[in-house]
């Protein structure tokens, strides 16, 4: 059986009196896409920096691709593609000059590979980076992470600043990487991105994992705001007892509610009437975190 692509055990990182991680046990399998979720300050970026030996742990162990990032950092970095959440580079270079330079550091990346990725992301390689918008600078970051087809991609908020069309192209790139046997470890605040790409999801709180679930379980627990417009008024009594429905309001032909979990019961209730339109908003990650945190607290109280 292949070693995990990433494994941490009892990983602790302290900053003076503050703790960034409080005993993180994490395992990411080879050739899986792992979504790493949590609110700001939960420890996501600290974890990523420890995996890359950008900072050192206070205690605990880290193994990446079977190696110790502290003693085998140079060998590891040849096999990893990394995109920081705050991608910052020398703005005096053009995108082409920077990517060529970074490719040469890795022993050479074919120009055709760089050009192909740039075209997919609608990136103008001839412009100087300092003149690019945040979204276009992020495209440069995505290209440099993917261009050498690394064994492991470590991506911190990779689609920050990208428009929805390019976010979907990024999803396609991640799926292609998985199909090629690459591992992707990705933190994200874009729920649809995680749902479309991840095999498993880890949720971190106060520096430790509180849950690891498959993406189907994540989808089942997602909270959405729903709006349904019917061709005629509908009685509230038909929808009040629908599983997962809360904050129900009906005004004329329009129904609004929150839906926690699967949509099937609500869709079946609505199908008894003529539906003109249905809108489901992007699931709220903060609500999802609270759902998992409440479950964790209930589990601990029951012990």
Decide: 54 and 218 in contact? Cβ < 8 Å.
no
Q: Is residue 50 part of a domain?
A: yes
Q: Is residue 171 part of a domain?
A: yes
Q: Is residue 299 part of a domain?
A: no
Instruction: Give the H or E element holding residue 60.
Output: strand 59-64
Q: Is residue 300 part of a domain?
A: no
Decide: 58 and 17 in contact? Cβ < 8 Å.
no
Q: Is residue 54 part of a domain?
A: yes
Q: Is residue 70 part of a domain?
A: yes
Same domain, 211 and 242: no
Q: Is residue 287 part of a domain?
A: no
pLDDT at residue number 296: 64
Taking the whole predicted model, whether its pTM rises above 0.75 is answered as: yes
The residues with which 8 forms a beta bridge, in sequence order, are: 26, 62
Distances (CA, A) of 269 to 45, 155, 222, 227, 240: 43, 41, 20, 14, 10
**CA–CA dist 264, 260 (Å, integer):** 11
Q: Is residue 301 part of a domain?
A: no
pLDDT at residue number 58: 95
Reported as a pLDDT band with limits 50, 70 and 90, residue 197 is: very high
CATH number at residue 254: 3.30.70.2470
pLDDT at residue number 106: 87
Same domain, 110 and 184: yes
The single residue listed with the structure tokens 């949590």 is 38
Q: Which of 173, 200, 216 is the last residue of a domain?
A: 216
Q: Which of 194, 216, 238 is the last residue of a domain?
A: 216
Same domain, 161 and 238: no
Domain housing 235? 223-282
| Per-residue tokens: 101 | 């330079």
pLDDT at residue number 295: 67
Reported as a pLDDT band with limits 50, 70 and 90, residue 303 is: low
CATH number at residue 72: 3.40.50.300
The residues with which 61 forms a beta bridge, in sequence order, are: 9
pLDDT at residue number 211: 86
Decide: 209 and 202 in contact? Cβ < 8 Å.
yes
Give the total number of structural domains in the chain.
Answer: 2
Reported as a pLDDT band with limits 50, 70 and 90, residue 31 is: very high
Q: Which of 178, 194, 216 is the last residue of a domain?
A: 216
| Per-residue tokens: 111 | 């120009």
Q: In the predicted model, what is the mean pLDDT of residues 150-171?
A: 93
């Amino acid at each position: 059986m292949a070693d995990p692509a990433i494994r941490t055990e009892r990983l602790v990182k302290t900053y003076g009196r503050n703790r960034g991680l409080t005993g993180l046990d994490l395992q990411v399998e080879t050739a899986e896409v792992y979504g790493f979720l949590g609110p700001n300050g939960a420890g996501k970026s600290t974890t990523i920096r420890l995996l890359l030996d950008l900072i050192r742990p206070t205690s605990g162990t880290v193994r990446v691709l079977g190696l110790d990032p502290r003693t085998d950092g140079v060998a590891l970095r040849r096999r990893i593609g990394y995109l920081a959440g705050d991608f910052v580079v020398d703005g005096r270079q053009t995108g082409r000059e920077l990517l060529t330079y970074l490719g040469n550091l890795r022993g050479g990346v074919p120009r055709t590979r760089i050009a192909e990725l740039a075209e997919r992301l609608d990136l103008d390689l001839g412009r100087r980076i300092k003149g690019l918008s945040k979204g276009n600078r992020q495209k440069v970051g995505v290209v440099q992470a993917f261009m050498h087809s690394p064994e492991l991609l470590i991506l911190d908020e990779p689609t920050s600043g990208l428009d929805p069309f390019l976010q979907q192209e990024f999803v396609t790139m991640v799926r292609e990487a998985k199909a090629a046997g690459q591992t992707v470890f990705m933190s994200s605040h874009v729920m649809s991105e995680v749902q479309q790409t991840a095999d498993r999801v880890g949720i971190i709180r106060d520096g430790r994992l509180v849950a690891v679930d498959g993406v189907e379980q994540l989808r089942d627990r997602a909270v959405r705001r729903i709006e349904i417009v019917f061709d005629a008024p509908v009685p509230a009594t038909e929808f009040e007892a629908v599983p997962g429905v809360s904050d129900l309001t009906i005004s004329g032909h329009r129904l609004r509610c929150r839906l926690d979990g699967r949509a099937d019961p609500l869709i079946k209730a609505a199908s008894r009437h003529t539906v003109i339109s249905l809108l489901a908003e992007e699931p709220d990650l903060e609500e999802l975190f609270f759902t998992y945190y409440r479950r964790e607290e209930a589990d601990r109280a029951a012990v």
